[in-house]
Amino acid sequence: MPDMEETIPIKDEYDIVTARSAGKTIASSTGFGLVDQTRISTAISELARNILRYAGTGTVYVRQVTADGRNGIEVVAGDQGPGIANLDLAMTDGHTTGGGLGAGLPGTKRLMDDFEIDTEVGRGTIVTTRKWVQ
């Protein structure tokens, strides 16, 4: 089953819509119900929006995954932007350096099952998230 995948370069607002809808399509084919499809596409748009706002450009990869007999979806959002100096702060509800709500990263963590950030100041940021079909 794990064969659907999409790579969406993020460089403008339209790419956020493209990434969001690719995620919804793959989530639906993976077996997620409507509510989870919406959670996943919301997470994708938050990550893509962060790429656009903080790094300028980057890439979102969405793919089907299987582990321990479970099917799921993996979203990897990567950029070569400024990186995140204080990850604990970035993961705090309400913390923003960009005039936002500071809800994107903590919200994405709540919407998905697995959530990891690999970031280095001056090098960039890779956020990897997964969600598993119940």
Ligand X SMILES: Nc1ncnc2c1ncn2[C@@H]1O[C@H](COP(=O)(O)OP(=O)(O)OP(=O)(O)O)[C@@H](O)[C@H]1O
**Residue that is written with structure tokens 């819509």 in the block:** 17
Q: Where in the chain does DSSP place strands (E)?
A: 5-10, 58-67, 70-79, 114-120, 124-132
Can residue 126 be called a binding residue for ligand X (CB under 6 A)?
no
Map residues 37-76 to x or -, x wherever contact with ligand X holds by CB under 6 A.
---------x---xx--xx---------------------
Can residue 28 be called a binding residue for ligand X (CB under 6 A)?
no
CB crowding 3-34: b at 16 or more within 10 Å, else e? eeeeebebeeeebbebbbebbbebbeebebee
Tell me which DSSP letter residue 6 carries: E
Look at residue 81 and give the partner it binds from ligand X, Mg ion, none, a contact being a CB closer than 5 to 8 Å depending on partner kind: ligand X
Can residue 37 be called a binding residue for Mg ion (CB under 5 A)?
no
Among 104, 111, 124, 132, binds Mg ion (CB under 5 A): 104
Can residue 105 be called a binding residue for ligand X (CB under 6 A)?
yes
Least CB distance to ligand X at residue 85 (A): 8
